[in-house]
């Protein structure tokens, strides 16, 4: 799928400022090495160093990795730190004073509500730390670079036109990647690209965006809480073919992203996380992966022969609670994992010992086992209360295409039934022994009724009782009941048969009704059905489903 996760931190040249010239031929692998070209200008780094106190730039220029500088941290009363790919480095032994912070603040624009600012027409980002009095007592000054060629490794995905979600922890280059994607789409594929730049990190600070975004247009966001609104505004007012959005982090932004994708617009965005599972577990971002079409490596287990038969790789589409946001036609190959011959079950908030004890009592301890890795599990067993409080379990199960068996209580009866269903020894759902990969959410039912009867059902059943006890049995006369819905007639028929009496349906399809006959059922002699058939003999008549072994005879108390 178009999910790019766990990006590696970019490496930059150790010697000198990155070269502005771009090679004629770019290799996808160049993105991960020091030869990766940069479109940033040398003066961009000079603008960044002007923020620092006078003595710090000289010290930094002497460092061998000045071209790969990531950020500078200045906290009041502490020594300034420079962060390089190789690690942190103390720039000076002299602690940062309030004057040093004021000097840096004077070189940047106003700080927004999210305490971020920048340098005009540059990609550098300045983030502030405030005290309780809202005074700035610390700065994180991150170097911004437009790295040309950083998106070459996914050029085919960009050209394909599908939406792309970039997943990774902070500081690994997600923004750099989508900035290059924006330039590639606008300059090389001539698409109408609009960037929703909440923190001015993609297009830089100031009214004129940085050259690193190419021909792409940039919309600034007045307030961080308005990002989702600006996303929708971009669609309605500027007719883009592609929307670029950085750091989707709230539920409203995720909903806006889903809305954009459903309007036929390519969406390129980023989110914090290491894997797709992290996004699924995030209650605000679950909708982003609500439409995954997963490529699963199927395995079926033959429990009778205790061997594993690996089936061919098949593409399967999950049932979704939300429409699809991200395109899903690209994946990486996954090596086949060998499993033991036992059915691997992942238990959530259910004691492993309880499940294994039930399996031992049932004589199935050699067939079923418990695993701590949900990725290798073939089934998940959880309680209904925990599932309601932690809905991400269902999301992870859908992604791994693992069925979830839900029990209402940790009773022996429920556990036994769950084990039998997991192993396929007992049917569940409308189809007996339904394949596990076809049913992803199975609730273990108990003996109590699913719901309370409606007032109409109570009235209909009371009508049956009164008719039988006051007319049919005492007087030996048939009684035709009032027209009812077919499902209520079925309940009435069950009650009639519990009195060992026969009945037949009458009336039209629009107004069906039940007629109770003064005939007694006899379950000892198999006979044919008479439901839906008129009475033909005063002494013998059968009723029920066809061939169910229920016959009707004249009751002795009807004479």
Please give the average per-residue pLDDT across 231-241, as a whole number. Answer: 90
The predicted-structure confidence for 152-194, as pLDDT tens digits, reads as follows: 888 888 888 888 999 988 878 888 899 999 999 999 999 999 9
Q: Please tell me the predicted confidence (pLDDT) of residue 339.
A: 40
For the cut 80, the answer to whether the pLDDT of residue 268 exceeds it is yes
| Alpha-carbon span 242 to 260, nearest angstrom | 10
Q: What are phi and psi of 470, to 5 degrees?
A: -110, -15
CA atoms of 332 and 323, how far apart (whole Å): 23
User: Is pLDDT at 422 greater than 50 in this prediction?
Assistant: yes
Q: Which two tokens stand for residue 81?
A: 């730190």
Domain at 41-142: CATH architecture? 2-Layer Sandwich (3.30)
Q: Write down the pTM of the prediction.
A: 0.48
Nearest Cα neighbor of 195 from 187, 181, 206, 517 is 181
Count of Cβ atoms closer than 10 Å to residue 468 Cβ: 19
Between CA 395 and CA 287 the distance in angstroms is 10
Q: Give yes or no for a contact between 60 and 49, defined as CB atoms under 8 angstroms apart.
A: yes
Per-residue pLDDT tens for 83-99?
Answer: 998 999 999 999 999 99
Backbone φ and ψ of 308, nearest 5°: -110, 130
Percentage of the chain exceeding pLDDT 70: 71
pLDDT digits (tens, 9 = 90+) for 388-417: 777 788 888 888 888 888 888 777 778 888
Q: pLDDT > 90: what percent of the chain?
A: 17
Q: How confident is the model at residue 316 (pLDDT cuts 50, 70, 90)?
A: very low
Judged against a pLDDT cut of 90, whether residue 77 lies above it is answered with yes
CATH code for residues 153-204+219-336:
3.40.50.300
Contacts 24+ apart (CB under 8 A), 350-359: 350/381, 350/382, 350/383, 350/407, 350/410, 351/410, 354/410, 354/415, 355/381, 355/415, 355/419, 358/412, 358/415, 358/416, 358/419, 359/419
3-class SS at 290? coil
Is the domain spanning 455-558 CATH 3.30.1370? The answer is yes
pLDDT at 308 over 60: no
Domain boundaries, given as residue ranges, for the chain: 41-142, 153-204+219-336, 339-450, 455-558
Are domains 339-450 and 455-558 of this chain identical in fold?
A: no
Q: For residue 245, what pLDDT is reported?
A: 92
478-504 residue pLDDT tens: 998 988 888 889 889 988 887 778 899
According to CATH, the topology of domain 339-450 is Rossmann fold (3.40.50)
């Amino acid at each position: 799928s178009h999910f790019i996760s766990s990006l590696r931190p970019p490496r930059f040249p150790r010697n000198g400022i990155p070269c502005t010239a771009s090679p004629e031929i770019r290799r996808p692998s160049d993105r991960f090495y020091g030869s990766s070209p940069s479109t940033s200008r040398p003066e961009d780094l000079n603008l960044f160093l002007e923020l620092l106190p006078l003595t710090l730039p000289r010290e930094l220029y002497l460092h061998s990795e000045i071209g790969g500088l990531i950020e500078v941290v200045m906290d009041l009363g502490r020594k300034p730190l420079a962060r390089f790919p190789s690690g942190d480095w103390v720039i000076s032994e002299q602690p940062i004073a309030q004057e040093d912070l004021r000097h840096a603040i004077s070189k940047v624009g106003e700080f927004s509500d999210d305490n971020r600012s920048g340098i005009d027409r540059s990609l550098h980002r300045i983030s502030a730390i405030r005290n309780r009095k809202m005074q700035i007592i610390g700065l994180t000054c991150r170097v911004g670079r437009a790295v040309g060629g950083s998106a070459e490794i996914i050029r085919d995905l960009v050209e394909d036109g599908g939406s792309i979600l970039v997943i990774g922890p902070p500081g690994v280059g997600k923004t750099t990647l989508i900035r290059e994607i924006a330039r590639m789409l606008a300059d090389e594929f001539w698409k109408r690209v609009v960037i929703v730049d909440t923190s001015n990190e993609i297009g830089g600070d100031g009214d004129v965006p940085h050259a690193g975004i190419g021909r792409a247009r940039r919309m600034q966001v007045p307030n961080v809480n308005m990002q989702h609104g600006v996303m929708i505004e971009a669609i309605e007012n500027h007719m883009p073919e592609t929307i670029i959005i950085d750091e989707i982090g709230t539920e409203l932004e995720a909903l806006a992203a889903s809305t954009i994708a459903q309007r036929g617009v390519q969406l390129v965005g980023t989110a914090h996380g290491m894997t797709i599972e992290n996004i699924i577990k995030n209650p605000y971002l679950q909708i982003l992966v609500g439409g995954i079409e997963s490529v699963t490596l199927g395995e079926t287990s033959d429990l009778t022969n205790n061997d594993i038969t690996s089936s061919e790789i098949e593409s399967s589409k999950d049932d979704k609670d939300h429409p699809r946001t991200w395109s899903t036609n690209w994946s990486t190959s996954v090596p086949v994992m060998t499993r033991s011959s036992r059915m691997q079950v992942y238990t959530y908030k259910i004691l492993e010992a309880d499940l294994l004890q039930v399996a031992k009592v049932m004589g199935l301890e050699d067939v079923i086992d418990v695993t701590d890795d949900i990725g290798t599990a073939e089934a998940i067993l959880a309680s209904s209360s925990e599932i309601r409080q932690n809905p991400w379990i269902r999301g992870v199960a859908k992604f791994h295409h693992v069925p979830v068996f839900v029990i209402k209580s940790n009773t022996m009866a429920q556990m036994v039934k769950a084990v039998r269903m997991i192993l396929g020894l007992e049917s569940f759902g409308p189809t007996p022994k339904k394949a596990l990969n076809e049913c992803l959410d199975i609730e273990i039912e108990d003996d109590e009724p699913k719901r309370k009867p409606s007032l109409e059902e109570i009235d209909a059943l009371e009508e049956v009782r009164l008719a039988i006890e006051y007319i049919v049995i005492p007087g030996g006369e048939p009684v035709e009941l009032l027209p009812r819905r077919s499902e209520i007639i079925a309940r009435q028929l069950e009650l009639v048969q519990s009195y060992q009496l026969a009945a037949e349906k009458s009336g039209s399809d629009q107004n069906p009704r039940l007629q109770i006959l003064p005939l007694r059922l006899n379950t000892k002699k198999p006979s044919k059905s008479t439901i839906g058939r008129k009475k033909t003999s005063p002494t013998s008549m059968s009723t029920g489903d066809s061939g169910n072994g229920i016959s009707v005879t004249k009751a002795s108390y009807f004479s």
